[in-house]
Amino acid sequence: MKIFHNTRHAEHSGRQEMFRGRLVDCHEVPQRLQHVLDELARRPVGALVQPTADLPLDAALRQVHSADYLDFLARAWSDWVALDPTNAERDALPSVWPLAAKHGFRTDAPPLNFAARLGQYAFDSGTPLMAGSWAAAREGAACALAAAQAVLGGERFAMALTRPPGHHAGPNYMGGYCFINNAAVAAQALRDGGLQRVAVLDVDYHHGNGTQTIFYERSDVLTVSIHGDPRTEYPFFLGHADERGHGAGEGFNLNLPLPRGTGFEVWWAALQTAMQAVSDFAPQALVVPLGLDTFEGDPISGFKLRSADYLQIGRAIAALGLPTVLTLEGGYAAADLGVNTVNVLEGLRG
């Protein structure tokens, strides 16, 4: 197993986020990844490597994100500081958003004011952007692309061990701590590498709204997600069971929302449903946005999985018998994230 490590992840280190109406210390912090690295040092399960510098990363990003959004991210920090030089001392958070066009708001005439543009490309105020965010997100996407290429090259399993996470980032928006959709980059790279069908199995507590949106009208990428019920859980506005895909993609999106407080037995039953859908689709490879915020001790989530359960999850994923790319997503009980992540990887190895 190759584990691609984002050595630049700590350049993205937010000070505060808006959480349930108040500014709090960020939940998505560099220590999350350090705990995984520490556990991998104790229990090595694969080769820890870095993506090479010659990856066709820009082309891969343009396959899943719009050019204007990528350009915004690349310039965002310098534009934020240009708005007010004192902004260099604080993270950028949006404070104004356009509603959908049906409400009379226009997005066809992009504003010149950076604060407004930030709102145009964000769907929440909990995703702080700082000087190193773009570099960290790009390197994370490079890890995902390298993992996909490793699988195409014959690796059974490969992981993008990175932060910030990615599955909430859509074609032209950021949110949920995510800027670049690493899982979508990996899935598209597998398709571009010659595979005809790829499945995405998202096991994060929060619905992968960005991944769903990117592939919602396509039949070549099946998206399946087990997550907290969006009627009560973030991201709230996507993730319902009746979202089945649209147009050519109808029937190729499956959401399995579960109530807050769900324990492993019920969650496991949902996983069996998800895996059956994957098997019926008969993909040639699998992408797993690996969120570990289903853990019972997670501070912002509500499922009740325990550390030992993640060994069983790893074994279940391996039992699908598919070449698999994993991308690290959520998991905010930072001290437990290392054990839980490595348990999944140990389960994969059998």
pTM of the full structure? 0.97
Over residues 38-42, mean pLDDT: 98
CA angle, residues 332, 337, 338, in degrees to nearest 5: 155
110: left (phi over 0), alpha (psi -120 to 50) or beta: beta
pLDDT of residue 78: 97
For residue 31, what are the contacts with CB-CB under 8 A and spacing of at least 6?
334
Q: Is the pLDDT of residue 120 over 80?
A: yes
Q: Which of 35, 65, 167, 168 is catalytic?
A: 168
Strand-pair category, 2-5 with 47-49 = parallel
Nearest to 195 by CA among 151, 158, 144: 151
CA dihedral 335, 337, 341, 346 (to 10 degrees): 30
Nearest to 161 by CA among 60, 39, 333, 323: 39
In angstroms, the CA 19 to CA 244 distance is 30
For residue 166, what are the contacts with CB-CB under 8 A and spacing of at least 6?
137, 140, 141, 144, 178, 179, 180, 181, 182, 183, 184, 185, 210, 289, 327, 329
Identify the DSSP state of 101.
Answer: G
pLDDT of residue 100: 76
Decide: helix, strand or coil at residue 208: coil
Decide: helix, strand or coil at residue 328: strand
Percent of the chain with pLDDT over 90: 94
275-311: pLDDT as tens digits: 999 999 999 999 999 999 999 999 999 999 999 999 9
Over residues 164-190, mean pLDDT: 98
Nearest to 216 by CA among 179, 254, 270, 259: 254
Phi (first) and psi of residue 38, to 5 degrees = -65, -40
236-275: pLDDT as tens digits: 999 999 999 999 999 999 999 999 999 999 999 999 999 9
In angstroms, the CA 31 to CA 334 distance is 7
When computed from its CA atoms, the radius of gyration of the chain, rounded to whole angstroms, is 19
Over residues 125-144, mean pLDDT: 98
Decide: helix, strand or coil at residue 54: coil
Structural contact between residues 204 and 330, judged by C-beta atoms closer than 8 angstroms:
yes
Q: Is 227 a catalytic residue?
A: no
